[in-house]
Structure 1
Amino acid sequence: MISSLPDADWRHRPGLDALLKALGADQGLARFVGGAVRDGLLGLPVNDLDIATVIPPRSVIDRLKTAGIKAVPTGIDHGTITAVINGWPVEITTLRRDVSTDGRRATITYTDNWREDAARRDFTINALYADPITHEITDFFDGVADLKAQRVRFIGDAGARIAEDHLRILRYFRFLARFGDDEPDAEAYAACQAAANSLMALSRERIADELLKLLAVAGPLASLQLMIDGGILLPVIPEIDRSGLKRLRGLIEREAESGIGPSAVRRLAALLPPDPRAADQVGARLKLSNKARKRLTVALEGAATGAPPRNLAFRIGVEGAIDRILLNPAAPLDGVSMLTGWLPPRLPLGGGALIARGLQPGPDVAKALAEVQDIWVAEGFPDESRVAEIADQTVSKFQRARQ
């Protein structure tokens, strides 16, 4: 692993040089930190950029305004200012050290000591700094070596670090899935098991956010296996068990075979019991969005083996149909390719056309229109001339029934 930050496209984004100049990077007052450095060393794309600085937050705002850079006080109480350069947000945080923590939030004070700032971070691979000018890496806790060895380690005592922020339990397994070799650090794993009940003190939104991020990782199975075996999720999502892991394994294989990218919500559906009501209860408990909860229940409401894929997609939506096909090991995967890029058509006929054919206005119109649509869908969405024939036949049927 190299000890200087490699060149990459993200370091040449418009406006970044002006931002670094405003923050005094050429005087050693600011450094890249965290994920950008970690991912940069690995040659991965960098989307989110964090900068650490010795400059106090209010002075950061003043410097940015003087340089004509938009400054948003997104987390000023915790020392974070967001600079917006060419529509790209960059988080700038003053060096901090913890005064006290309660497992959910910390009371901090500012410092000019880079090591103190690094010591309050979670994992060694996230406590890496890079000088924007010289590109030299500052590594206080052997994070570069851990990154090379695919080892995810807490900084200092794992139990103490978890006590500072209980969410680090879930973050540990997400980072293990993304950057580790699937073998947990023994101390870290034991500490996560011992503190699992502390997850109950966290907001369900924070738990859901971390869980969905883990499920979006390409290969989450080994980490989830460790979490299930270790009882990590039991206090907050007891519905997730080994049978769910088996379903998820099958889903991931089918996603890969069909060329469909991972969906965290779809993968969560696989982990949960195949019961839409139970899934909705979990979604409510995790305070998922209404859209995500609906997707969970639709995915688990029935199998995808009966209706042709496009008929199913017309009824429940393309996304829901793809989810059901992928989740059902008995459903042919060619249904996914049939739906990829397909937009459900609209019935080229309305109630007025049925009335024009002699159907009396009233409840029969809606019933007849629904029947026309059912036939149209069953026949594979034929053209307007066939729809006209179906309409004529349906109106005649309703008229005879009224005689």
Structure 2
Amino acid sequence: MSGSLGQRPWITAPATAAVLDALEGAGGPDCARFVGGCVRNALLGRPIDDIDIATTLTPGQVTQALSAAGLKAVPTGIDHGTVTAVSGSRPYEITTLRRDVATDGRRAVVAFTDDWTLDAQRRDFTLNSLYARRDGTVLDPTGQGVADARAGRIVFVGEAGRRIAEDALRILRFFRFRAWYGAGPPDAAALSACAALKGDLKALSAERVSRELLKLFAAADPREAVGLMAGCGVLGELLPPPLDLARFNGMVAIEEDQLFETDTVLRLAALLPDDQVAAGQLAERLRLSNAARDRVVAALAPTPVFKSWMSPREIRRHLYRLGAQAFRDRAKLAWARAGRTATTPQWRGMIALGEGWTPPAFPLSGRDVIASGVPKGPMVGHVLAEVEAWWIDHDFLDDKLSMIEKLKSVAQGMAF
């Protein structure tokens, strides 16, 4: 035993009690324990997101026990022993104790066991190999998990290289947990193993890589972890060179200083070179959503070049052309590259203007062009584009009569 969590609300909640009662009704007292993140975060005073439970019951027994108790059982990972219980509208991931039989760096063949120590030994890090009984008693089979969690040490269970060989994604998980929970010097054995085995990342599915990478970028301050990734060559295995660590660090800094929300997609864009083709290819390779792909590509356009001293008129012109999202992204990337300087108020004002100004709709249409004497066909679009450019250059003139006069002037100068 390694202390107690006490009776936390998430432990004593009726929905949690219903799941534990169902499992213990089938397997007896202590057949089910909380495991992993909920135990770790409770020890550290961090918010509890997911409640995971480990059990000596087989998946079939778990399903039967939940159904008998009137709870929904979803076979979310049945081959690996995982059943999700739904109780009080909340999901509880329940996994049978396991030991690895064979691994290939991407997936593991497991056998079920009733040995808690064997289950702990197959987990990734000591701070994730913690269990807690429903009375709050914490159990630490590795003997290091509680101390490592409290000290911010991200240490592999057993030999680091062996854990990574079982699943190469653990390389990215090492840096992700370093970003979220790490303190003090990084574990040398872990860092060395990640560097030595970084080539194994190529065998992983794009979805697993992108999901882990974005979770890493979502940490409040991932700068040190990302710097370590770059230093040992891991980041270069995933993203196209040249990587812009300075801009990435600047992006995190301005989000922190200016109380902007953490934006994982923009942090990713900040790391990448200003190459829209390469960015699009990377987004496809990482299987990013269409919306995320489009954002990254738009954010990395080489023009227009944003400067802190742009006039309100120029800001409005860019905002109209780019749209609100791309404008904000481009402004933040330019600010991040510039760093923390005396121009911070100008950048802040630029973004505020972009958020507070609604671009007007261009008041003319093809019908107006035709009415001015231009015949139907491609010329209509050319005339309309020239008048719109004039309208933008005149700071979105709110005078339709003047615009009609300009339209007539342009139309008269065209050869049909």
So what's the TM-score if we normalise by structure 2? Answer: 0.86
Query: Can you list the C-alpha shifts for 1:159-204, whole angstroms capped at 9, x where unaligned?
Result: 1111111111111011111111152111111111111122122223
Deviation at 1:151, TM superposition (A): 0.7
Match of 1:279 in 2: 279
Contact 1:354 1:395 (8 Å CA) reproduced: yes
Structure 1 residue 326 corresponds to structure 2 residue 332: yes
Instruction: Give a deviation string over 1:356-384, Cα, whole Å, max 9, x none.
Output: 677654444434444454455555556xx
Aligned amino acid, residue 137 of structure 2: E
Contact 2:100 2:122 in 1 (8 A): yes
C-alpha distance in 2 between matches for 1:213 and 1:367: 47
Q: What value does the CA root-mean-square deviation take over the aligned residues?
A: 2.7
Shift of 1:36: 1.2
Moved more, 350-359 or 50-59: 350-359
Following superposition of structure 1 onto structure 2, how do residues 372-383 of structure 1 map, counting pairs within 5 Å? 373-378=388-393
Answer yes or no: is the 8 Å Cα contact 2:72–2:87 preserved in 1. Answer: yes
Evaluate the alpha carbon distance shift between residue 114 and residue 349 of structure 1 in structure 2; reply closer, same or farther with a 3 A threshold.
farther
Counterpart AA for 1:366: G
Residues 348 and 387, structure 1, Cα contact 8 Å, conserved in 2: no
1:333-348 equivalence runs, <5 A: 333-340=348-355, 344=359, 346-347=361-362
Say which is worse superposed, 190-199 or 253-262, in terms of deviation. 253-262
- Aligned counterpart, 2:234: 232
Contact 2:34-2:53 within 8 A present in 1 as well: yes
Alignment partner, residue 163 of structure 2: 161
Cα distance in 2 for residues equivalent to 1:57 and 1:157 = 29
Call closer, same or farther: CA 1:203–1:4 in 2, change over 3 Å.
Answer: same
**Whole-angstrom CA distance in 1 between matches of 2:348 and 2:196:** 42
In structure 1, the partner of 2:343 is none
| d(CA) in 2 for partners of 1:8, 1:258 | 34
Match of residue 116, structure 1, among 112, 115, 118: 118
Structure 1 residue 145 displacement after superposition: 0.5
State the percentage of identical aligned residues. Answer: 45
Aligned twin of 1:401: 413
Give, in whole Å, the separation in 1 of the partners of 2:87 and 2:404: 62
Distance 1:81 1:64 in 2: 10
- Deviation of 1:90 after TM superposition, in Å, equals 2.0
**Deviations, residues 370-402 of structure 1 (Å, cap 9, x unaligned):** 4454455555556xxx25235423332244235
Alpha-carbon separation, structure 1, partners of 2:390 and 2:41: 54
Partners of 1:347 and 1:373 within 8 A in 2: yes
Q: Does the aligned pair in 2 maintain the 1:196–1:233 contact within 8 Å?
A: no
Aligned counterparts of 1:96 and 1:355: Cα–Cα separation in 2: 74
Aligned equivalents of 2:205 and 2:331: distance in 1?
33
Q: Which residue of 2 aligns with 1:28?
A: 30
CA–CA separation in structure 2 for the residues paired with 1:17 and 1:341? 49
Question: In the alignment, which residue of structure 2 is the partner of 1:4?
Answer: 4
Say if 2:106 and 2:166, in contact at 8 Å, map to a contact too.
yes
Q: Quick check: 332-341 or 224-233, which moved more?
A: 332-341
Amino acid aligned to 1:320: A
Q: Is the contact between residue 240 and residue 272 of structure 2 (CA under 8 Å) also seen in structure 1?
A: no
Q: 1:283 is matched by which residue type in structure 2?
A: A
The alpha-carbon deviation at position 215 of structure 1 amounts to 1.6
CA apart distance, 1:105: 0.5
Which residue is 1:202 aligned to?
204
Structure 1 stretches lacking a partner, 5+ long:
none
Residue 401 (structure 2) aligns with:
389
Can you list the C-alpha shifts for 1:282-316, whole angstroms capped at 9, x where unaligned? 22333323322222221110332367444433322
Shift of 1:79: 0.8
List alignment gaps of at least 5 residues for structure 2.
Answer: 339-345
Mapping of 1:97-136 within 5 angstroms? 97-132=99-134, 134-136=135-137
Cα separation, 1, equivalents of 2:280 and 2:250: 22
Q: CA deviation at 1:59?
A: 2.0
Give the match's secondary structure for 2:155: coil
Structure-2 change in CA distance of 1:165 and 1:116 (3 Å): same
Secondary structure, aligned partner of 2:91: strand
Deviation at 1:327, TM superposition (A): 1.0
Tell me which residue corresponds to 2:341: none
Shift of 1:108: 0.4
Offset of residue 12 of structure 1: 5.8
Q: Is the 8 A contact 1:176 1:182 kept in 2?
A: no
Distance 2:107 2:412 in 1: 72
Deviations along 1:264-299, whole A, 9 cap, x unmatched? Answer: 221122212222222223223333233222222211
Contact in 2 for aligned 1:6/1:40 (Cα 8 Å)? no
Find the aligned partners of 2:13 and 2:409 in 1 and give their Cα distance. Answer: 67
Which residue identity lines up with residue 81 of structure 1 in the other structure? Answer: V
Report if aligned partners of 2:6, 2:137 keep a CA contact under 8 Å in 1. no
SS of residue paired to 1:262: coil
> Which residue of structure 2 aligns with residue 264 of structure 1?
264
Local SS of the residue matching 1:233: helix
Give the AA of the match of 2:141.
F
Task: Give me the whole-angstrom Cα distance separating, in 2, the residues matched to 1:355 and 1:256.
Answer: 53
- Contact in 2 for aligned 1:354/1:391 (Cα 8 Å): no
Distance 1:314 1:49 in 2: 46
The whole-number CA distance in structure 1 between the counterparts of 2:106 and 2:350 is: 45
* Structure-2 residue corresponding to 1:144: 146
Task: Tell me the equivalent position of 2:288.
Answer: 288
- The 5 Å alignment of 1:45-84 reads 45-84=47-86
Q: State whether residues 127 and 145 of structure 2, in contact with CA within 8 Å, keep that contact through their aligned partners in structure 1.
A: yes
**Larger mean Cα displacement after TM superposition, 352-361 or 153-162:** 352-361
Bigger drift between 368-377 and 266-275 goes to: 368-377
* Partner SS for 2:234: coil
Aligned-partner Cα distance in 1 for 2:98–2:294: 41
Give the 3-state SS of the residue equivalent to 2:5 in structure 1.
Answer: coil
Whole-Å separation in 1 of the counterparts to 2:75 and 2:166 = 24
